[in-house]
Chains A and B, each alone.
Chain A
Amino acid sequence: MKQYCILGRGCICREGNSPAELAASSHTKPSPNGTLEFRSMIESGWTRRLDPISLMACAAIRAALSEAGNPHMKSPDRTGIVLGSRTAGLGMSIDYTTQLRELGSDLASPMLFTNTVLNAPASHASILLGITGASFSCFGHETASSDAIWAAMRMLDFGRMDLVIAGGVDGAHLRLPRRLSQNGAGVVILAPEDLCANQPHVRGRISGIESERSEWKRLPETVPGWIGRIWREFSPHTVFSGRVLISIPDNGDGMGERIRSALADDPVMGSGSSECRAGCSDRGSFGGVMDLIYATECLRGTGSDGAPVPVAILTDIASDGSCNTMILTS
């Protein structure tokens, strides 16, 4: 199974603005008092120019690149950005069209309009950091960030990039539904294993990523099967020993716990421990990448329970029953 190295991580969320702070906090209940103090991570000239979501994304990307030793500077044209989002540009679109209605097109803000596109965060980051490789954004529901990681890995496979910044970003707006109003950004820096020889900054290795889909009510049957299959492909004939992290929307039906129980009864997966983060409402569409960043800390023994975890399986589920599953090792 092909491996992709994580060379750097960056996150901006209520639990904190670094992977260590994310891991140290209670990962199931984000602190309501958490602050999103990240403006100091970006030059003041840019903080005035960027919309809030782009600002979060740029701060997370800059932190991840810094942790990785700024590898993009060697070949900016072979570095790309793939960001998933559900709401990037949406708040700006609401603000702009409100101005359009109230003031007319002559007086509405051109700056607002320019930031109405979903790819504004990735575009601002590429301008800020001089990244000129293949970049795009993708829309997704609860799994947007793991969709972006899937697409980023494919772009590495295709040979379009040597290094890719992948993850997700979302932003709150007063006129959006509460389910969509989450602030945060998370990214990882990925590179193929064969290009990472002598790379001192590897924070974890992702082995494959599989996408599946099933009816919501059948998830307790199907998810253990998907996870078991990806594990058997990774390590045939071995009983899983590690941690499964499941990110699932909270539809109020206890689905997360039912999947967790089904996993505990599974003959292959049952001996591992599992954590189920039921409630993507706390995570916007970037739950998948936040779990990945948290899991890299678990590998080092700095997760919530302090015990090193040899391997983690991450499963990111959307409310339409689609699901991305990946394996993380040190």
Chain B
Amino acid sequence: MKIRSERRVVITGLGLVSSLGSTTETTWRGVLNGECGIRDVTRFDTTAYPSRRAAELSESIVTDLAIRAGQPLSLLDLIAVSAFREALADSRLAIDPAIPSGLVFGGGSGSFVPVESELIFSDVISQDSGEPHPDLYNPASPAEQIRSMHPGLSRQLVPMTACSSASVAIGFAFDAVRTGMWEVAFAGGADVISRLCFGGFNTLRAMDPDCCKPFDRRRIGMSLGEGAGVLVLESLEHARARRARIHAELIGYGLTSDAFHMTTPDATGRSWARCLSTALSASRCLPESVHYINAHGTGTPLNDSAETAAVHLAFGAHADRIGISSTKSMLGHCQFSAGAVEAVITVLAVRDQIMPPTMHLESPDPLCDLDYVAHSARPATIDVAGSSSFGFGGSSVMLLFRRVES
């Protein structure tokens, strides 16, 4: 890859909402303690589905966020705005219209919730009661809410590549800061559980009726989740000039298309290995520098073995020395926002030098033969950590974060 500018990009703010907590630190504590946010779904009737569980935001979390927001917002917008506000406060940054800045916020499948609620599953409004409002479906709504509160943000972009959307957003924001287009960028994503995705993954027989069991021999599918993650990216110079606290450095990323199949991964792992190798070469990072990977790790039979194969192909003999965990085993698969939620977790792992665990991994699968940090968090030296996201349609992303010495 041709690098046209060499500005270093650092992470100075984090915001996170998940089934384990309404803030970054509460979620992080829960993850390190191995708490599982996957439970019976309460937001809609799931009795007709084979799987009825997901990592849903509890009523208490939603109420807490709504009180703090101080204004009526849809659930999707609420979690997006909450994570953004937390990240902004964490960065101690004031958005200045004179400083070029932008917002890249992955769209979410949760933006279909108003359509399914009002058009499909509602018995109150009949189908011929009039034309639905054009803005009933608006994946840009979280970004528009954030930008309406912070008009100093010069531009927004809403990438959508299914489960890798938020990772694409973070990658684009990284490039914008690296090349000097923006001095500061806010990137992430938000998503909530919809009947569309809950039903869809049940239709695909890709859901575990209990909790997902990434990399386990007994794994039969994923558990959906919901949440939001936001990262503040800025140039190292800008961060240093304002004496900002730096969580980690984002050193690069890989973005590739599998060009293989809409939903089935390449079982050989070659397509995803190309993404991981692109991330390493674009970041000028030796494989041996990578000590931890927050895996896509959905818990579906094909995903986990293909991802394991990809890590072997991309990292060679060093693959056995990398700690790998799937935090989806606690937070569920946060769908279009998974990349942002897991990027925040990865930054925290680098910051605190501890690998979060993979839960529910009791019976190792011979096809998944790496070190998955099973059962409990593990303190470790982490110089570089990766966060992988693979989306429906084949957009694959790996982000690489590096420790920054204080």
A residues with CB within 8 A of B:
76-77, 80-81, 90, 93-94, 96-98, 100-101, 104-106, 108-110, 113-120, 122-124, 126-127, 129-141, 147, 151, 154-155, 157-160, 175-180, 211, 320
Contacts and interface: CB of A to CB of B under 8 A. Distances in A.
Interface in B131-151: 131-134, 137, 139-140, 144
B50 interface: yes
Interface of B: 1-4, 48-50, 107, 109, 112, 115-116, 119-121, 127, 131-134, 137, 139-140, 144, 154-155, 157-162, 168, 172, 175-176, 178-179, 181, 195-196, 199-200, 202-204, 255-263, 271, 274, 391-395
A135 B257 contact: yes
Nearest to B260: A127
Given A113-B204, A132-B259, A119 B160 contact: yes
A109 B392 CA distance: 16
B140 A139 contact: yes
Contacts of A105: 48-50, 199-200, 202-203
B258 A94 contact: no
Contacts of B133: 177
Contact of A127 (B121, B159, B261, B274): B261
Given A119-B161, A139-B140, A139-B160, A127 B119 contact: no
B120 A94 contact: yes
A3 to B, nearest CB: 16
A157 B176 CA distance: 9
A76 to B, nearest CB: 8
A80 B120 CA distance: 36
24 contacts: A93-B115, A97-B121, A104-B48, A105-B50, A108-B200, A108-B203, A118-B139, A119-B395, A120-B262, A123-B257, A123-B262, A123-B392, A124-B262, A127-B262, A130-B259, A131-B257, A132-B256, A133-B256, A137-B159, A139-B158, A154-B181, A160-B255, A175-B127, A177-B132
A69 B349 CA distance: 48
Given A113-B196, A151-B157, 6 more contacts: A115-B262, A116-B109, A118-B139, A122-B393, A123-B257, A138-B158
A122 B258 CA distance: 12
A81 B259 CA distance: 12
A201 B140 CA distance: 36
Contact of A138 (B144, B157, B257): B157
B115 A94 contact: yes
Contacts of A113: 196, 199-200, 203-204
B176 A118 contact: no
Max chain B Cβ within 10 angstroms of own Cβ: one of A129, A131, A137: A137
B380 to A, nearest CB: 31
Given A106-B203, A116-B196, A123 B393 contact: yes
Given A114-B392, A147-B157, A134 B121 contact: no
A135 B115 CA distance: 27
Contacts of B176: 154, 158
Nearest to B181: A154
A160 B175 contact: yes
B203 A126 contact: no
A77 B256 contact: yes
B336 to A, nearest CB: 9
B353 to A, nearest CB: 31
A250 to B, nearest CB: 13
Max chain B Cβ within 10 angstroms of own Cβ: one of A104, A123, A136: A136
A141 B141 CA distance: 11
Max chain B Cβ within 10 angstroms of own Cβ: one of A80, A126, A137, A139: A139
A132 B274 contact: yes
Contacts of B392: 114, 117, 119, 123
A159 B204 CA distance: 37
Contact of A118 (B107, B134, B204, B263): B107
Nearest to A130: B259
Contact of B160 (A77, A124, A137): A137
A178 B133 CA distance: 10
A158 B2 CA distance: 8
Contacts of B199: 96-97, 100, 105, 108, 113
A101 B393 contact: no
A46 to B, nearest CB: 12
Nearest to B264: A114
A127 B262 CA distance: 8
B175 A154 contact: yes
Contacts of B49: 105
A131 B259 contact: yes
Given A105-B48, A177-B132, A114 B263 contact: yes
Contact of A97 (B107, B120, B131): B120
B300 to A, nearest CB: 14
Nearest to B130: A177
B313 to A, nearest CB: 15
